Every structure is written in C-alpha cells, then in structure tokens.
Amino acid sequence: MVAILEYRASTGKSDGWSLVDVLERFRYCKATDPRDLLFGILGLAHGNHGVVVDYTRPVKNVFMDLALRIMHHSKDLETALSQCWLPQKLAELGVLPSWASNRLTPDSSTLRLRLVRNLYQAGKIEFEPPRTISQSGEICLNGRLLGRPKLACRAGLKSIHMDGERFYRCLRRFYQNASSEALENYPITGESFDRAFWRTVLFDARDKSGRLQESDLVLIDKLSLEFRKAEKPEDDFEFSEEYRGLLKDLLLIRKSSFHFTSTDTDLFAIVDYFTGDHDIIVVLDGSRVPMVLREATSSSSGISVGKADYLTNTALPKISYKIVGLCYVHGFMDGEAYWPKRGLKEETFLIS
C-alpha cells in the first residue's frame, strides 16, 4: 500500500499508466499470493487488457494469459519478451515458459543490441499474435530460419575490468581470430569481409540514434588495414580519437562477453557467449531483431488452463524451442528474410 501511495504521489495522477508500466514499477514487490502482484495493482492501470481477477486459476496460467494479452495489445512480440513487467518473484521461480518469463532482460550480454533494437525491423511488421496456448504452455510463432551458429567459426570477446588500451588490444585479437579463416567477401551483401565484420560487431549502429554512415565505413576500412599490418595483437598501436569515437560503444558491453560467429549458411552474427552450435537463429514475425532458439523437451502431460481456447497437443509441431536471447545477423536486420530472392520459407516454431 505504501508503494502504491508513493507511486501516485510521484506521478501526480491516479490514472493514465499502462498496465506494462505499472507492472514494471511494482515488479520487485512481494506478496504471499503471487497473483496479488497482478490482481492487486490492476486498479492503477489505464486499461487492464481484459484481465479478469480469478483466484481459482493457477499462478502459471494467470501470468501466461497476461503475457499473451500484452502481446496482443502491443502487436509487438518483443514487448511481451523484453519489457521488465514480470514480477521478480515469478522470474526467480522459473515456472513460466520462455516466451512468458522475461528472458530478454538488460542483464543479457547483448545489452547494447537491446539499446539500439528500435533501429531495426527484422521481422514482419504485420504481426498477428497467437490466440491459443497449448496444454503444456506453448505457443506457435511464424518466422524464417536463418541457420545455426558454427562453433568452429567463432571468436569471443571478453574484457572484464579492462582499461581502454587493454580492451583495444583484446579487440584486435578478436578481429584477427575472426578473420583467420574468413571468406574474402560476405556473400549476402557483397561487402568485403572487413566491412561486414565491423558492421556486425558494431551492430551496424553508431548509437541508438542511427545506423553507421558512409564516413564510418571509410573509417572501418582504415582500421582494418591497420589491424592487418600488426603481426601480433599486442604490438603497439595508436588508437586515434576517430577510432575511439567509432568503437567507444563497445565498452558498454565489456563487463560481459559475446561471440562473433558465422553460421552454417555463411551469415555473420553476434550472439551471447552461451549460445551453442545446436541452437538455431530465426527471424520471428513481430520481432525487431533475430532470436536464438534452443530445442527443448516438450512436456508429456498438459496443464489445466481454464476457460480460454487452447490448442490440443495433436495440432502442434513435433519439436519445441526455448528462447535463448537476441542476436544480430548482418544482412537480415531490415526485413530481408521475407524477400522472395532470399528463398526462405515461412515456418511455424513451437515456443515453450
């Protein structure tokens, strides 16, 4: 109650807040009954997305239904996946499926990709969210398969607690490892390896205000030439201010690690360090950026889901996947997966 009164006082109004905003504001609160973390604050939101207070429904079903309603209201797949609306207590318990459990949170090592994701539209804009949930808590999403990461063609960047100079030396080693067995040109865009590599590592963005410009690409060519001249990553190298300006945003993610990788379809990607070579990279309808999925074992027994219309297990694809995280795939960040000349077929993915 105190938190609610403070919230009203700090905003100066008692209505007009979206349900997602209210949920995010109170996600760290505690309650004896986890359902109170939703039902107890519905009155603060302007519009409740059709949520009905029903304490006879299991906790898992209440919050799966909420996630699906948020998805329908926003018409944006990532709003349900990446907003910090899920009560922390539910996130810690791990009782919800990956599509409803806030997997794409800021503690991911693809933090910078989350910060600039509004610059992209990899998935189809005309997104029709699923209206049904399986008896095992799964939903079906349409999309395009881009490929699988190749463990042998991966270069990792990890720079925990490094100062600037050490970080840049690590970056140069990262570049040399990645380029050691690379193709001369990147087949998707026709660019040189150097340009495609750096545009991938930088997520093709200077910052969240815009994408890389031609002047940045010219600077990338100069930097690549300097890196290629160095026989060893630890050789002395003077990073000019223009280089520092181009690469400074990489320091935002240096407390974690990520991988530059190629895929079995010869694409360049940036993935989280825990991505495996058995995972798949897909573009899902309604998503601004590609996602990494991991095959999961479907539940052998269903759950009681109440009054909604739910799919029967016989209507589902045989393989289900869990959402691992976001990723950047060069040449597929602006709807290219849907171009007929790419030849990628629409597939239905069962997400658990």
What are 254-265's pLDDT values in tens digits? 445 567 788 889
Cα separation, 72 vs 127, in Å, equals 9
What radius of gyration, in Å, describes the C-alpha atoms of the chain? 22
Query: Per residue in 118-163, pLDDT tens?
Result: 889 999 887 888 888 888 888 999 999 999 988 655 555 543 334 4
Torsion-angle region of residue 47: left (phi > 0), alpha (psi -120 to 50) or beta? left
Is the pLDDT at 298 greater than 50, yes or no?
Answer: no
Lowest mean pLDDT among 18-27, 78-87, 301-310, 331-340: 301-310
pLDDT confidence of residue 106? 46
pLDDT confidence of residue 311? 41
Higher pLDDT: 185 or 4? It is 185
pLDDT confidence of residue 159? 38
pLDDT confidence of residue 335? 95
Torsion-angle region of residue 183: left (phi > 0), alpha (psi -120 to 50) or beta? beta
pLDDT confidence of residue 166? 62
Per-residue confidence at 70, pLDDT binned at 50, 70, 90? confident
pLDDT confidence of residue 209? 73
The two tokens of residue 120 are 């992209």
pLDDT confidence of residue 272? 79
Q: Which of 72, 128, 3, 10 is nearest to 23 (CA)?
A: 3
Cα separation, 152 vs 298, in Å, equals 29
Is the pLDDT at 303 greater than 50, yes or no?
Answer: no
Describe the crossing of helices 214-229 and 193-201 by its angle, rounded to 10 degrees. Answer: 110
Per-residue confidence at 294, pLDDT binned at 50, 70, 90? very high
- Percent over 70 (pLDDT), the chain: 66
Give whichever of 7-16, 70-79, 94-103, 251-260 has the largest mean pLDDT. 70-79
- Percent over 90 (pLDDT), the chain: 18
Per-residue confidence at 337, pLDDT binned at 50, 70, 90? very high
